[in-house]
Amino acid sequence: MSIPSELKRISDTVWELPRSYKAGMLVPARIFATERLIAQMDAGVFDQVTNVACLPGIIDYAFCMPDGHWGYGFPIGGTAAMDPEEGVISPGGIGFDINCGMRLVLTKLTWDEVKPQLHRLVDQLFRRVPAGVGSHGFVRLSHDEFCQVAEQGSRWCLQRGFALPQDLEMTEEGGCFPGADAEKISVRAIERGFNQIGTLGSGNHYLEIQVARPGNIYDEALAHDFGITIPDQVVVMFHCGSRGFGHQVATDYLQTFLAVMGRKYGITTNDRELACAPFRSREGQDYFAAMKCAVNMAFANRQVILHRIREVFADVFGRDPLDLGMNMVYDVAHNTAKLETHEVHGRPREVLMHRKGATRAFGPGMKELPACYRKTGQPVIIGGSMETGSYLLAGVETGSASFYTTAHGSGRTMSRHQAKKQFRGEKLQRDLESRGIYVRSVTWGGLAEEAGPAYKNIDEVVEATELAGLSRRVVKLVPVGNVKG
Amino acid sequence: MPYRYLEEIATADVAFAAWGETREELFAACADALENVMVADLDAIRRVEEMSVRLTHGELDLLLFTFLNELVFYKDARQLLLRVDSLTITGTPGELVLDARLAGERIDPDRHSLIVDVKAVTLHRFRVSETAQGWEAEVVLDI
């Protein structure tokens, strides 16, 4: 049992480690979870979330979401609001895969219409959306053009014909974090990523065809507002990030911060992966501008992939993608730092939100949301394992308890090596097909690592977010076709 | 194999411990441990391309960190899977110099039995230490 004895139950879904738990904690740590989920959390969560609580400038609490698990620096599911004037920015609070995120796309097709074409669809998606180690995208760019992508994100895609205007509106921050500065990224980062636009990556990255079964709709009115309007409607969900480019941006600045953190700024951390610099310092601002480049590249990556998905559907069904109703529900980022205004102790205040393996979940009425979601709250896309299904949630008013942040996925409970020992990729593919899920993967080993039982129960995770008042369930989406990295 | 994957930490990622009688052996073992996360059979990597790298750092652990990052960089930037041919570490603490000869080939999904991509080398629990038997390291990779 890894639960520390100091862990206090604040409510059925809120748990707290007090400042006395660890020397140097500036605020308590709060974990959102049911009793069952907290019992499954590994030792890394408690250690890492309390390390986050030691970072200069942290406001109120270091948080961890119900899908939290052992990460590096922050736990996965870790969230912290920093005072921009007094606080720090840390790549370890964002992750190497900057703006790893989820995108959900509607169709007007029903499962009955798609079923006869499922193999053709998945096979074509598998060919046209490259995945796995060392894969290349179809977009050929010079380094200079890549820098434009990094500064403009989805706007670049719009200019190049890879996006529709409405796609940008349905993307967090319009698909472009302003203030991205390609002068702040290294040539090595460009070299790692400039040919990877339009690629999924590997690990837990995937592209899935899913069905919204009538029995899985939790809130019909909200589902309707989000575009789920017909029984057994088919949707497409995918998960990927900023690829080697973002990984290198984080690696570069981790080293920059490590070199100056103690010597120049007198900051120490419990984990070198939490290397940081004051947000307003030159190094902090340089990283913020470089990180935004990676955020924008990830938005562009997902946008180009959406373009390919639309091409494949158009090809298979012989119809225009818009005639097929292929509009985006939303695109949400998991791994970012962002300046946001939140009410803190009764007053609006600008804070630097670090979210790592956590999703922004703005509630109804928030002005940052597109007009069509101001009443509903923000759509939140939660990716589950390829066996169990995923969820579409909505942000809620009570989300202020976590600076409007919720879970991002189901969270692993089994190591990759254990999963490979326990499952065989070929057998898993056959078993899934017999259960009506057609999977294509670049590798059998990679497929085995992502087997459903390696993850927490997604139903429990999303239920916990609802019980904790962080987000509410709208619809569960079950997989029928999957492309794995 | 002079390395072992650690099941009990960093569940979603991959952690390993590696050993060597010398610092050089340790670095080569870590390189293989990293490549073996991506490729099931290291013997399938043929010696088609060779390259030399020279890296410097004041501290031994961060020299290893820099070296492993180099392998991750070449995997994406040149699609190369690389193993250590020869490696020397010279200099004194504060001014360590690594010279390595690396050999390998471009990623071939048909022949390399690929598993999963290494996104980055993390500094979480990153450690290099001298033991009675030689040297050991612990590394957590982001997957």
Active-site annotation holder among A69, A247, A354, A408: A408
- B94 in A contact zone (CB under 8 Å): no
pLDDT (tens digit, 9 = 90+) per residue, A92-140?
A: 999 999 999 999 999 999 999 999 999 999 999 999 999 999 888 999 9
Choose from A96, A274, A276 for mutation: most chain B CBs within 10 A: A96
> What CA–CA distances, in Å, run from A210 to A232, A374, A386, A437?
9, 26, 10, 9
Residue A261 has pLDDT above 90, yes or no: yes
Residue type at A384 in one-letter notation: G
Residue A239 annotated as catalytic = no
Taking CA–CA distances from B108, the nearest residue in chain A reads A134
Q: Sign (positive/negative) of CA torsion A198, A368, A57, A282?
A: positive
Cα dihedral B26, B115, A37, A422, rounded to 10, equals: -100
Residue A63 has pLDDT above 80, yes or no: yes
Chain A: give the shortest CA distance to residue B75, in Å. 7
CB-CB under 8 Å, A442 with B109: yes
What pLDDT, on a 0 to 100 scale, did the predictor assign at position A358? Answer: 98
Find out whether A295 and A98 touch, Cβ atoms under 8 Å: yes
Residues of B in contact with A417 (CB under 8 A): 5, 7, 14
Q: Sign (positive/negative) of CA torsion A156, A158, A162, A166?
A: positive
CB-CB under 8 Å, B113 with A275: no
What CATH number has the domain spanning B3-142? Answer: 3.55.10.10
CB-CB under 8 Å, B113 with A443: yes
Chain A: give the shortest CA distance to residue B11, in Å. 5
Q: Are strands A58-72 and A277-278 parallel, antiparallel or unpaired?
A: unpaired
Choose from A272, A441, A484 for mutation: most chain B CBs within 10 A: A272
> What CA–CA distances, in Å, run from A209 to A105, A124, A216, A390?
10, 12, 16, 11
What pLDDT, on a 0 to 100 scale, did the predictor assign at position A362? Answer: 98
Q: How confident is the model at residue B7 (pLDDT cuts 50, 70, 90)?
A: confident
> What CA–CA distances, in Å, run from A340 to A349, A354, A366, B134?
8, 10, 11, 50
Residues of B in contact with A204 (CB under 8 A): 12
CB-CB under 8 Å, A254 with B123: yes
Is the domain defined by A101-338+365-484 classed in CATH 3.90.1860.10?
yes
d(CA A293, CA A182): 7
Considering only the beta carbons, identify the residue of B11, B12, B114 that sits closest to A133: B114
Find out whether A383 and A102 touch, Cβ atoms under 8 Å: yes
Closest by Cα among A261, A131, A271, A104 to A206 = A131
- B123 in A contact zone (CB under 8 Å): yes
What pLDDT, on a 0 to 100 scale, did the predictor assign at position A412? Answer: 84
Considering only the beta carbons, identify the residue of B13, B73, B119 that sits closest to A188: B73
- Give one DSSP letter per residue of A219-246, joined into a string: -HHHHHHTT--STTEEEEEEEE--HHHH
Q: How confident is the model at residue A91 (pLDDT cuts 50, 70, 90)?
A: very high
What pLDDT, on a 0 to 100 scale, did the predictor assign at position A316? Answer: 98
CB-CB under 8 Å, B124 with A73: yes
The residues with which B6 forms a beta bridge, in sequence order, are B15
What pLDDT, on a 0 to 100 scale, did the predictor assign at position A1? Answer: 53
Closest by Cα among A480, A405, A441, A470 to A132 = A441
Query: Where along chain A do the CATH 3.90.1860.10 domains lie?
Result: 101-338+365-484
- Give one DSSP letter per residue of A385-439, joined into a string: -TTT-EEEEEE-GGGGGGTSEE--B--B-S-HHHHHHH--HHHHHHHHHHTT-EE
Taking CA–CA distances from B59, the nearest residue in chain A reads A259
Is the overall model pTM greater than 0.90, yes or no?
yes
Mean pLDDT to the nearest integer, A286-305: 98
Q: How confident is the model at residue B46 (pLDDT cuts 50, 70, 90)?
A: very high
| Coil, strand or helix at A48 | helix
pLDDT (tens digit, 9 = 90+) per residue, B53-77?
A: 999 999 999 999 999 999 999 999 9
Choose from B8, B69, B114, B115 for mutation: most chain A CBs within 10 A: B115
